[in-house]
Amino acid sequence: MKGVRAAIAALLLIGLALPAAAQDTVGAVQQAKGHWTLRAPNGNSTTIGYGNPGDHPFVGDWDCNGTDTPGLYRQSDGFVYLKNTNGTGVADITFFFGNPGDIPIVGDFDGDGCDTVSIYRPSEARFYIINELGRNGGGLGAADYSYVFGNPGDVPFAGDWNGDGTDTPGLRRPSDGFVYLRNTNSQGIADISYFYGNPGDIVYAGDWNGDGVDTVGLYRPSNRTFYLRNSHSTGVAHQSFVLGESGSYPVAGSFGLSLPPPPPALRLQTVATGLDAPVFVAAPQGDDRLFVVEQTGDIEIIDGGVKNTTPFLRLTVTSGGERGLLGLAFHPDYASNGKFYVNYTVGSVTRVSEFTVSADPDRANPSSERILLEFSQPFSNHNGGMLLFGDQGYLLIASGDGGSAGDPGNRAQNPNSLLGKILRIDVDSPSSGRQYGIPADNPFRSGGGAPEVWLLGVRNPWRIDYDQGNLYVADVGQGTREEITVLRASQQRGANLGWRVWEGSHCFAGPCATGGYAFPQVEYGHNEGCSITGGFVYRGSAIPGLQGTYFFGDFCSGFVRSFRYENQVVGPVTTRSDLGTVSRLSSFGYDGQGELYVTSLQGRVSRIVPAP
Ligand SMILES: [Ca+2]
Ligand SMILES: [Ca+2]
Ligand SMILES: [Ca+2]
Ligand SMILES: [Ca+2]
């Protein structure tokens, strides 16, 4: 908020250059999740997790360094929790606060460059100004002074309405829709008043244009929109934008965020058409070619925008429905060893095999097959199929629950079954009579389940991604819920994603205990789609603002959505209306530069590019 003014004055006295005035921005705090989505001055945003459901959020500059950071008031225990960084982590300062019903008011009421937490007591319409933070672990000190301003029922806030470096009170009166601002911390009438906002709007204050004067902004919960106005008068907003998730509460301050520019609008650029049921695209890292996986058994190469006349590999597979050639992964050392891996269906068996490229880089050696793993599918559907190399170069294999409906054999929860699991094997070190090795930290390596199992409780994890240590599992639901679970490194080993006990966050086959399961952070119902098509995190270079953004979609409704997982939190999910809808959206994929692609089962491969 305001703290920099006094520091600027001090610098001027000793003849130093005037630093640029801090420009305030806003944040949307989703109170039920404890998600803080903070906006940078360039319009990009980041999300952090802090606090418990029901905590009342605010921000301030507690350590007087010019950066505003989170604080919250927890009515259940009567404490405030202040934090000095805008990242993951717990509170730096906590102290007991006021009486039940008191509202925290943050500001720099003495102009010393430090924000403190003062009290507004609604029953008295009285501000209790406190110019020190409470003692950590103790209580809040006695008020320096107090005064009455406004009427019971008014909604209080504070800001520097005249730019003198000191924060003073403001009120919004729901009964008449007026804002009342006062320029001194004393009893009296408003210096400024004007009509502003709609019923239901939540008010806050900040310096949106960096001129040193705080003005009032509005947050409209019904459309998640922030409205910022730069003058103390009735009128339309100078800026308005949507931020955060529904159910949010606004905060305003200078967060010190340095973020890349927000991504531009996007579009889908057709790369190839006429393919035979494409279900995936991939490429070795750094390779300029695009390898398209066709469900019917071919891997085609698109090179310079043109499909090679001869496939890279032609496999004999059992194709149709959810069977066929389903997955492809290149060995991390493909450039030197030429090895790659496929997942395909033969009759009722899922086979994971290694092949090697031939002397011709556009042709695999069809007789180089080394079958790593085979397992039977009791039904034709839910074959998973994704392959990718995860941590320490181990191959991850996404395996469905065996099919039918409702996992009739309860295989996903059975640690001895390879079905309904993410498996993890070492393709480079065969051992114990297997064509692969068992990584030393696999959870059932020494018993209790199949040694290949890495995590369990999935239904049909058609596409998964592994990015910077985080595992993204998009699991196709039964009749109700589609879901994505993001697991950071420490959460992956032996995790149980819940199926068939849970379908997303809905009880499917009880008893439904909540302990011991990893629940999805992203979920949608069958009113929006019917089968999630998992995707990948953008790590290309063509669209810098898209770095770290995960894309996914739905096979039935064809939407594409995105979110970012950062600070251990899944940020707001955005429907990418700029990308339109994709008919029969079978998969996302990536090329050797990290650019992202979309495949339609109808034969089209498209690349995600900036809109013109
Ligand atoms: Ca600070
Ligand atoms: Ca102060
Ligand atoms: Ca002032
Ligand atoms: Ca201003």
Q: What is the DSSP string of 103-151?
A: EEEEE-TTSSS--EEEEEETTTTEEEE--SPPPTTSBPPPPSEEEE-S-
Q: Torsions phi, psi of 410, nearest 5?
A: 50, 45
Burial category of 31 from C-beta neighbours within 10 Å (exposed 0-12, middle 13-18, buried 19 and up): middle
Write down the pTM of the prediction: 0.89
**What DSSP designation does 156 have?**
E
Residue ranges of E strands in 440-590: 453-456, 463-467, 470-475, 481-487, 502-503, 506-507, 522-525, 532-533, 549-554, 560-566, 569-570, 574-575, 585-590
- pLDDT the model gives residue 334: 98
What does the pLDDT average to over 411-426? 98
445-455, pLDDT tens digit by residue?
999 999 999 99
CA of 231 to the centre of ligand 4 (A): 7
Tell whether the model's pLDDT for residue 253 goes beyond 90: yes
The CA distance from 348 to 402, in Å, is 10
CA atoms within a 13 Å half-sphere pointing along the CA-CB vector of 190: 19
pLDDT tier, 255 (very low <50, low <70, confident <90, very high otherwise): very high
Residue whose pair of structure tokens reads 């429907």 in the numeric block:
575
CA of 136 to the centre of ligand 4 (A): 33
Kindly give, in sequence order, each residue whose CB lies less than 8 Å from that of residue 232, ignoring residues fewer than 6 positions away: 161, 181, 192, 194, 215, 216
Pick the ligand that lies closest to the CA of residue 85: 1
- pLDDT the model gives residue 33: 93
- CATH architecture of the region 377-527: 6 Propeller (2.120)
What does the pLDDT average to over 516-534? 96
Cβ atoms of 219 and 37 closer than 8 Å: no
CA of 34 to the centre of ligand 4 (A): 29
CA of 184 to the centre of ligand 2 (A): 14
Which residues have CB atoms below 5 A from the ion given as ligand 2?
Answer: 108, 110, 112, 114
223-233, pLDDT tens digit by residue?
999 999 999 99
Pick the ligand that lies closest to the CA of residue 83: 1
- pLDDT the model gives residue 598: 98
CA of 83 to the centre of ligand 2 (A): 17
The three-class DSSP label of residue 4 is helix
59-90, pLDDT tens digit by residue?
999 999 999 999 999 999 999 999 999 998 99
- pLDDT the model gives residue 83: 97
Kindly give, in sequence order, each residue whose CB lies less than 8 Å from that of residue 135, ignoring residues fewer than 6 positions away: 95, 141
- pLDDT the model gives residue 602: 97
CA of 165 to the centre of ligand 2 (A): 10
- pLDDT the model gives residue 18: 43
What does the pLDDT average to over 578-591? 97
User: Which residues, listed in sequence order, are joined to residue 397 by a DSSP beta bridge?
Assistant: 387, 423
Tell whether the model's pLDDT for residue 352 goes beyond 70: yes
The whole-chain average pLDDT of the chain stands at 94
- Tokens for 82? 């202040």
530-546, pLDDT tens digit by residue?
999 999 999 999 998 89
Cβ atoms of 211 and 21 closer than 8 Å: yes
135-183, pLDDT tens digit by residue?
999 999 899 999 999 999 999 999 999 999 999 999 999 999 999 999 9
Are β-strands 278-282 and 290-294 bridged in parallel, bridged antiparallel, or unpaired?
antiparallel
CA of 7 to the centre of ligand 3 (A): 15
CA 327 to chain centre: 26
- pLDDT the model gives residue 532: 97
- Tokens for 182? 């006062």
What does the pLDDT average to over 183-201? 96
Kindly give, in sequence order, each residue whose CB lies less than 8 Å from that of residue 440, ignoring residues fewer than 6 positions away: none
The CA distance from 126 to 103, in Å, is 11
CA atoms within a 13 Å half-sphere pointing along the CA-CB vector of 481: 20
Which residues have CB atoms below 5 A from the ion given as ligand 1?
Answer: 61, 63, 65, 67
Tell me if domain 4-253 and domain 377-527 are identical in fold.
no
Q: Positive or negative, the Cα torsion across 385, 575, 405, 445?
A: positive
CA of 145 to the centre of ligand 3 (A): 17
CA atoms within a 13 Å half-sphere pointing along the CA-CB vector of 1: 38
- pLDDT the model gives residue 260: 87
What does the pLDDT average to over 406-428? 97
Q: Torsions phi, psi of 370, nearest 5?
A: -120, 110
CA angle 352, 357, 360 (to 5 degrees): 155
What does the pLDDT average to over 473-487? 96
Kindly give, in sequence order, each residue whose CB lies less than 8 Å from that of residue 10, ignoring residues fewer than 6 positions away: none
What does the pLDDT average to over 259-282? 95
The CA distance from 37 to 29, in Å, is 6
- pLDDT the model gives residue 17: 44
Closest CA to 253 of 340, 167, 136: 167
Pick the ligand that lies closest to the CA of residue 112: 2
Residue whose pair of structure tokens reads 């939407």 in the numeric block:
559
pLDDT tier, 19 (very low <50, low <70, confident <90, very high otherwise): very low
pLDDT tier, 379 (very low <50, low <70, confident <90, very high otherwise): confident
Domains of the chain by residue range: 4-253, 377-527
Which residues have CB atoms below 5 A from the ion given as ligand 4?
Answer: 207, 209, 211, 213
- pLDDT the model gives residue 11: 45
Pick the ligand that lies closest to the CA of residue 228: 4
The CA distance from 60 to 69, in Å, is 6
Q: How far is CA 523 from CA 250, 412, 480, 506, 576, in A?
A: 24, 19, 10, 10, 16
CA of 237 to the centre of ligand 4 (A): 13
DSSP 285-338: TT-S-EEEEETTSEEEEEETTEE-SS-SEE-----BTTBSEEEEEE-TTHHHH-
CA of 26 to the centre of ligand 1 (A): 16
Tell me which H or E stretch contains 158: strand 155-159
- pLDDT the model gives residue 21: 56
Closest CA to 158 of 99, 203, 194, 195: 203
Tell whether the model's pLDDT for residue 7 goes beyond 70: no
Residues above pLDDT 70, as percent of the chain: 97
Tell whether the model's pLDDT for residue 6 goes beyond 50: no
Tell whether the model's pLDDT for residue 15 goes beyond 90: no
CATH of domain 4-253: 2.115.10
CA of 45 to the centre of ligand 4 (A): 21
The CA distance from 26 to 225, in Å, is 11
CA of 243 to the centre of ligand 2 (A): 29
Tell whether the model's pLDDT for residue 344 goes beyond 60: yes
pLDDT tier, 374 (very low <50, low <70, confident <90, very high otherwise): very high
Tell whether the model's pLDDT for residue 332 goes beyond 80: yes
